[in-house]
Chain A
Amino acid sequence: MNNEIPKEYQRFNLIERIQHVILFTTFLLLAFTGWALKYPEVEHYSKWWIGIWGGPKTAGIIHRIAGITMLLDFIWHVLYLGYSLTTGRMKMRKYTTIIPLPKDVFDLIKNILYFVGLSKEKPQFGRFSYIHKFDYWAVFWGMGILGLSGLFLAFPVYASYLFPVWTVNWIWEVLFVMHSDEALLAIVFILFWHFYNEHLKRDKFPMSMTWITGRISIEQMKHEHPLEYKLEFEDKKEENK
């Protein structure tokens, strides 16, 4: 082993970790307090469940506060990204960017072929695999669809001032469908995609500590993010020489 290579690699900085903690706390609160409203007709169960969250009124207040906090967290994240990119703290590079590239599609196909046994070669990932990218952009999608519709539904009278007259005959149904359907999608997505990939996987169970420490071991980095590893350590070495 080369001495210049540290044992651990700082994957996420403090700000990113705080943003993540706010995101998942508010997400859980929103999912829990909103769930009873999704299927209230299962009356006994939904009443019991909403009771845990302080009854429908309190749960509604928690839901609104959590929703606004999440949107603020999202805005903070976007501003922070813009700031980091313009000041050069963060660089856009092929193997470290979160932006989906054609490579991700090929990686997905390669991975599936490997899973079903049609190929013996696993795809090589950079800092973010297509799994991470999907996870990340799904949140963006959810923020737009759920956050916007939620904001309108929470303050319907003010929202109505913004709507043009020709939309008023259908906009409410659209907002309702948006919020209700996409909330279900978000919950299922987190349950399957995020929980499987970041918690249930054999080498991650019950969870990786990266969300607290922000660090991953170099071994893990070599294994899971080989392209980023190469970029960070092997290429640099050559450049420096």
Chain B
Amino acid sequence: MKSGLVIVFLCFLLLCFSYSANAETFPPLQKQGFLTGFKCLACHSAMKGEIRTEKGNLVDVNVDSERYSQSIHGGFACIACHKKFGMNPHKPTAMGDVPKDITVAASKISHKAKADPVALAACSECHGAIYKSWQNSIHGSNVISKKQTDGASCIDCHGSPHYITSKKTETSTINKKNVVKTCGECHEKEELAKKYNFGTHILERYYESFHGKKYILGHQNAPVCTDCHSYHNVKQWEDPMSPVAWDNRTETCGKCHKGTTKKFVTAITHKPIGKDNPIPYYFGKILTVLLVSVIVFIVGHVIVEVFSEIRDRIFRKKEEHHE
């Protein structure tokens, strides 16, 4: 009995220490009472369906408490991110309670957030440097400067903020197994390709390339979109800051292909083999003609020969033997 108590006490101590380690890493969260109960989930894990916000967006009110608790942020209290909501959850407190930098960040992306801009901006509280580099990326500047709603923010790539898992887990949207599809969510869309003037069927082109073929087969070293284009600070490819801008390609390709020169870096373009690049196009056509004609010849030759063999067996048996 006594030893049991000691163990409980030791566990408690351990918990305190680990708690304080967390608190040191994320001091603001502690102040706001993170890890303080899961009262919100009592209702929200049971609720089903969508509600319409003032802005007219449909928002799912359900939070799967089990998946949430298993997610990488599962230990956080809801109000760690949903900072507007105080103790009475559905009466937003004045913006004064929210740290100023988050209020500023939230105001810049309020058109983008479906439900709670403060919660979307709250990522910056812990992931400050990443958030900043996203703000300067083509995705971020599209949201912030151009005020578009279809530029990617954190949750467009990382998935629902309640269920984010480590990228090492297979269900993560940015796991190597899923990340190409995740980029494709937008980059495969024809209307977005037209609007922002990026190439259509990029994924198809990638899957046709040796990189993509190896990726489909599960090659460990096969590069995915983010390996060459980078991610949080992704830039339009002609931007001199982009890792795939002509001047930066030797370095980017050189990460895997040692000794890369400018002559090598033209290998990957994601362009279809079309008439705008006539040499491979017509060369391919000639090879296809050759392929088809050789196949027709050999298959035809074999078929007529088989036919004659059967005929000779049945009708010309005697002649064969006489020879």
Contact B266 A176 (CB under 8 A): no
Kindly supply a per-residue 1/0 record for chain A positions 160-197, scoring 1 wherever the CB is within 8 Å of any chain B CB and 0 otherwise: 11010100111011101110011011001100110010
- Do B302 and A193 touch across chains, with their CB atoms under 8 A apart? yes
Shortest Cβ distance from B272 into A: residue: A173
Could you tell me if B279 and A174 are in contact, using CB atoms closer than 8 angstroms?
yes
Task: Select A181's contact among B216, B220, B257, B287, beta carbons within 8 Å.
Answer: B287
Q: Which one of B73-81, B103-111, B304-312 is at the interface?
A: B304-312
Whether A153 is near chain B, meaning CB under 8 Å from some CB there, is yes
Q: A37-B213, A177-B283 are in contact. Are A157 and B260 (CB under 8 A)?
A: yes
Contact B266 A46 (CB under 8 A): no
Q: Of B221, B257, B284, B304, which one neighbours A115 at CB under 8 angstroms?
A: B304
Q: Is B198 part of the contact surface with A, judged by Cβ < 8 Å?
A: no
CA distance A34 to B294 in the complex (A): 21
Kindly state whether residue B280 has any CB partner on chain A within 8 Å.
yes
B306 neighbours in A (Cβ, 8 Å):
196
A-B CB contacts (within 8 Å), total count: 120
Chain A residue nearest to B264 in the complex (CB): A160
State the CA gap A153–B301 with chains docked (Å). Answer: 34
Contacts of A202 in B (CB 8 A): 309, 313
| Cβ-defined contact, A161 with B287, below 8 A | no
Range of interface residues on chain A? 35 or more
Select which of A40, A46, A112 is within 8 A of B301 by beta carbon: A112
A170→B279 contact, CB < 8 A: yes
A117 and B308 within 8 A (CB): yes
Q: Known interface pairs A181-B287, A181-B288, A185-B295. Does A168 touch B218 (Cβ–Cβ under 8 Å)?
A: no
Chain A stretch 31-52: residues in CB contact (< 8 A) with chain B: 36-37, 40-41, 43, 46-47, 50
Q: Which residues on the A side are within 8 Å of B210 (C-beta)?
A: 37, 153, 176
A82 within 8 A of B: no
Q: Which of B263, B288, B308, B313 contacts A168 (CB 8 A)?
A: B263
Contacts of B266 in A (CB 8 A): 168-169, 172
Also in contact, A193 and B298, with CB within 8 A (given A56-B217, A174-B280): yes
Q: Judge whether B299 and A192 touch: CB under 8 Å.
A: yes
B305 to chain A, nearest CB (A): 5
- The reply to whether B216 and A178 contact each other, CB–CB distance below 8 Å, is no
Q: How far is the CA of A70 from the CA of B48 in the complex (A)?
A: 64
Q: Is the CB of A47 within 8 A of B218?
A: yes
Instruction: Report if A173-B277 is in contact (Cβ < 8 Å); known contacts: A40-B217, A157-B264.
Output: yes
Q: Do residues B309 and A170 form an inter-chain contact, with CB atoms below 8 A?
A: no
Contact A177 B273 (CB under 8 A): yes
Bound CA–CA A41/B204 (angstroms): 10
Residue contact A170 to B207, C-beta cutoff 8 Å: no
| Interface residue? B267 (CB, 8 A) | yes
Determine how close the nearest CB of chain B comes to the CB of A199; give it in whole angstroms: 12
> What 3 A-B pairs are tightest by C-beta distance, nearest first?
A173-B280, A160-B264, A56-B219
Some 29 contacts from A to B, beta carbons below 8 A apart, are: A36-B217, A41-B207, A46-B216, A46-B217, A47-B217, A57-B220, A60-B214, A60-B219, A112-B301, A112-B304, A115-B304, A116-B308, A153-B210, A156-B267, A160-B267, A161-B263, A165-B263, A168-B264, A169-B277, A173-B273, A174-B280, A174-B283, A176-B210, A177-B287, A181-B284, A185-B290, A188-B298, A192-B298, A196-B305
User: With A115-B304, A158-B259 given, can you name 10 additional A-B contacts, CB distance below 8 Å?
Assistant: A37-B210, A40-B217, A43-B216, A57-B220, A60-B219, A112-B301, A116-B304, A181-B288, A185-B295, A188-B294
